Structure 1
Amino acid sequence: MFSGFIFDVEGTLVDCVPQNLRSLQEALGRFGHQVPYTTLQLYSGLDGDQTLQLVVPEADEGDRKTILKVQGSIYEEKYLQSVRPFEGVRDVFKSLTERGGRIALATDCKGPALKHYLSLLGADEFISATACGDDVDHGKPDARLVGMALRKLGLPASDAVMIGDTPYDAEAALEAGAAAACVLTGGFAAEALVEAGCFAVAEDLQALLPSLEQSKVDPAREAPLTASAAIAQRRSA
């Protein structure tokens, strides 16, 4: 079994992807950018600045920062209180820690949102470390969040698995040297998650638990597509 279990939060532990995407869509609209929800879904979980570079390439760095600030305000004021935890998170955390595993969170969210998520989960006693948006400037697929979580756990990457809900979580995990597994609660198809490098994909965390409790995956497994390559492949299909 793995020794370390690094969990994404948004879309993996708490059900908030639609709210995040709607708040981003509204923020873009305030600045005259009409972007379809389905387009934003392709980049759900990607670093916010990178997302804006892709969907509104005409926006400069200052514009992107302003849009993201407005999006954060909309989300906290209009959507945050509607977020709910996914069922079974505490049970999964308890099972993993009872078997000797250590749990960390790796998420680019921060501030009031992260504090609210942690209160919803009510699982602080199982969490050994947290790497969040207050710690690094770059979100996934940048591997630094995962790397920081590993350092805080004091574990080698080969002993850990990152659990997320997007191809970007998988890419960050693999770049950091950890294994990757995903749930389908973020809106991505199982095929996209497998293409991005996940050794296991399941409907939710409870269904994923048996795969997390098995022996570590073969390090010689086939190299995956990067998240960006997987998206390009799906869009051209």
Structure 2
Amino acid sequence: MLFSGFIFDVEGTLIDCIPQNLQSLQETLAEFGVPVPYEVLQLYSGMDGDDALRIIAPSLDEVARKKLMKAQGERYQKKYLETVRAFAGVRRLFEGIKSAGGKISLATDCQGAQLRHYHSLLSADDLIDQIACGDDVEKGKPDPGLVRLAVKKLSVAPNKAAMVGDTPYDAEAAKAVGVPALGLLSGGFTRAALLEAGCFEVAQEVGALGLILDGATAL
């Protein structure tokens, strides 16, 4: 299978931050009077924030959900953001893709200062061709908007792009656009869950993708 474009999710895929994200969400939910077990939050990690809250906190109305998401974002940025790290091997992988003639885009719900901090951790701005972020679309994954935009920005056919993500929602978004999906176990989901969502292959984390992608980049 040959690809000329690679679309990467960021949180849980390139940046090791899912435990911090979920911990900040759990703490914020508790403040709003909605205690939710960590294991339940894990099931919806990577899903559009409002959609996830509709499921895990059905007692909250739209106004309360917006307040909660704002509070959670502030808590995460203040308490946890400086503790996250990039996964090993990201730049090496990106260099390999670029040297083979591939294009790279990020497709992430995050934005603003948070996204800028992630960029600084990756130290790979010179290798990233395009970015589709939360500022560009109304909804996060599994809505296909981010992946569709990333494909458009890369100017590649959907079947010549590969979506790399750590959640079933990345795979579902990719599938809706006709983009093959690669899954990573670094977000806390099982191999079975990622395959069931449509991933054609699953790796432990982003640094292990080299062997899978070897020979899979079209010039």
Q: Distance in 2 between matches of 1:51 and 1:126?
A: 32
Whether contact under 8 Å (1:2, 1:213) holds in the other structure is no
1:69-99 CA-partner distances (Å, limit 9, x unpaired) = 0000000000000010000000000001100
Map 1:189-208 to 2 at 5 A.
189-208=190-209
| Partner of residue 235, structure 1 | none
Shift of 1:24: 0.7
CA distance in 2, matches of 1:78, 1:166: 24
The residue that corresponds to 1:177 in the other structure is: 178
* Per-residue deviation, 1:142: 0.4
2:54 maps to 53
Q: Is the 8 A contact 1:8 1:107 kept in 2?
A: yes
* SS of 1:199 mapped into structure 2: strand
CA distance in 2, matches of 1:180, 1:165: 10
Q: Percent identity?
A: 56
Aligned length: 216
* Runs of 5+ consecutive residues of structure 2 not aligned to the other structure: none
Instruction: Report the equivalent of 2:28.
Output: 27
Contact 2:87 2:207 in 1 (8 A): no
Question: Could you tell me how far 1:183 is from its partner in structure 2?
Answer: 1.0
Distance 1:214 1:200, change over 3 A: farther
* 1:91 equivalent in structure 2: 92
Q: Give the counterpart letter for 2:54 in structure 1.
A: Q
Alignment-mate amino acid for residue 170 of structure 2: D
RMSD: 1.0
Match of 1:39 in 2: 40
TM-score by length of 1: 0.89
The answer (yes or no) to whether the contact 1:8–1:164 under 8 Å persists in 2 is: yes
| Equivalent residue letter for 2:28 | A
Retained in 1: the 8 A contact 2:93–2:209? no
Shift of 1:213: 3.4
Q: Which runs of 5+ in 1 are unaligned?
A: 217-237
Q: Which has the higher contact order (CA 8 A, sep 6+)?
A: 2
CA, structure 1 residues 146+65, in 2 after alignment: closer, same or farther (shift >3 Å)? Answer: same
Please report how far the alpha carbon of residue 215 of structure 1 lies from its aligned counterpart in structure 2 after TM superposition: 4.4
Deviation per residue, 1:22-54 (Å, 9 max, x gap): 111111111101000000000000100011000
* Partner SS state of residue 72, structure 1: helix
Distance 2:116 2:216 in 1: 33
- For residues 27-176 of structure 1, what are the structure 2 equivalents within 5 Å? 27-176=28-177
Asked whether the 8 Å contact 2:162–2:179 carries over to 1, the reply is yes
Contact 1:4/1:160 (CA < 8 Å) preserved in 2? yes
Question: For the residues of structure 2 that align with 1:20 and 1:172, how far apart are their CA atoms?
Answer: 21
